[in-house]
Each structure stands twice: as structure tokens, then as C-alpha cells.
Structure 1
Amino acid sequence: MLGVAARAALVWPFDAAAVPLATAAINIVGACALGIVVGALGTRHPSARAFLGTGILGGFTTYSAFAVQVATLAPVAPWLALLIAAVSLIAGVAGAGLGLWVGRRLGHRPGAPDAPAEAE
């Protein structure tokens, strides 16, 4: 619910025509944030990873709204729809990669074992 509320608050001020761009930006930021979570936690703290990744960020990002928005835009502005879809995909993967890189650096503690934590 926290992720959904954050997404709604970010999309709310936009004009309807700009919502697909806002959704794309949210999905890209969410991919980067998920990369940070996965990179920082690795296989440790599975409950925290599920809460942050699936719970918060799963609610924050939205593939289905993105898909419907692009499909709705395609008949009236096909090149714009294609551009939004391509940029979202490429930037989302790049954002996830950047997030993993940052997360691994944040999660790495010299001398700390990288083994999975005991059950939480």
C-alpha cells in the first residue's frame, strides 16, 4: 500500500496527457530502487527483501498501467508510444543495472560474510 500511495501521489499532479511519461519515470526509478535492494541485501534478510522489493516497490511500479497507456497512445501517436515503450525498457534495464551496482557497494561490508542470514 505504501508503494501504491507513493505512485499515486507522484502521478496525481500531472495532466492526463503526461501520465504515460510519469508512469515510465516511476517504473525506471522503481527498477533502479529494486536493483539497490537486491544488490544490497543479496540473499541475506529474505523478509526485508520481500517487503521492500515485492511489497513496496511492487506497488510503486506498474507494468500493467504502462502497457495499457502505451496501447492507448499507439493509435493516436504511434511514434510517441513506441518511443515511450523503448525508452522505458532500455532505461529500466539500465536503471536496474545501476541499482545493482550501487546496492552491492552499499551492502558490502569488509570482513562480513556474504552467506544467507539465519531465518528471521
Structure 2
Amino acid sequence: MRAPIRWGLLPLVFAGGVLGVALRAALTLPMQGGFTFGLLVATIGINAVGSGLLGFLVAGLGDAHPRRRAFLGTGVMGGFTTYSGFAVLLGELAQAGLILYAALFAALALLSAGAGAILGLQAGAKLARRRGIAP
């Protein structure tokens, strides 16, 4: 059975999203204008860090703090990370005929985000155990 939508959390998600997008923009706007090396690295880093922090929040907060999780997890981290930016950069590399670079970029982006999530989940679970919150 599907859980009911908690409409009261929507303003928190919105506010967190605004903050997350602003943080990402502060890091990436100076590098806009195609697939520069800096933008590729920033996109990988943002998604790895964001995945790690989201994993930490999910495991560390559990279901005990739905308002914090909505603001920080869905909002801030959802706005900060950028799957669409990753996909567009990947497409630009492929369209330019840089298939090897596109494959390398995709592999590094996915592996680093996955590693970030795993490390974040482990750290969050450790914190939750210390605080007596069931994972």
C-alpha cells in the first residue's frame, strides 16, 4: 500500500531545493559553456559528495525526523546533485565524437557517486547505532 502524501513537507522540500541549487550554481556557473574539464570534474564531485551526504542523512536520521529529511535530503541534496547535468555533459561528449571520454566520464561519475553513497550510508548507520536509532 502506498503511503499518503504529506503535503505539509512540500514547503520544506522547496526551500531545501532552492538552497541546494544555489550551492551547486555557485560551484558550477563559473565553468558553464560546454564540457570543460573543470565542469566535468565539478559534476562528478558534486554528485559524489551529494550522494554521500544523502546516504548519511538517510541512514543517520531514519524515519525519526521526516521534516529534516524532507528539507535536507529531498530538498537540499536533491537540488545540489545533478543527474540531468551529468546526462547532458555525457551527451555532449558523445555528440562531439569523444566516446572514450564519455565512457570514462560515465564510469567515474557512477562509481564515485556509488562510493559516496556507500560511505555515507555506513557513516550514518554508525551514528544512528551510537544514538540508539534503529537503522
Same fold (TM over 0.5): yes
- C-alpha root-mean-square deviation of aligned residues, in Å? 1.7
Measured against aligned partners, the alpha-carbon deviations of 1:67-117 in whole angstroms (never above 9, x if no partner) come to: 01110111322111111111111111111010001111222335x3539xx
Residue 114 (structure 2) pairs with residue 93 (structure 1): yes
Q: Is the 8 A contact 1:32 1:98 kept in 2?
A: yes
Match of 1:28 in 2: 48
Instruction: Output aligned runs, 1:1-120, within 5 Å.
Output: 1-14=18-31, 16=33, 17=36, 18-76=38-96, 77-109=98-130, 112=132, 114=134
Which segments of 5 or more consecutive residues in structure 2 lack a partner in the other structure? Answer: 1-17
Question: Residues 21 and 29 of structure 1: is their aligned pair in 2 closer, same or farther, counting only changes over 3 Å?
Answer: same
Runs of 4+ in 1 over 6 A off after TM superposition: none
Q: Is the 8 A contact 1:29 1:95 kept in 2?
A: yes
Q: Is the 8 A contact 2:44 2:112 kept in 1?
A: no
With the length of structure 1 as denominator, give the TM-score of the two structures: 0.85
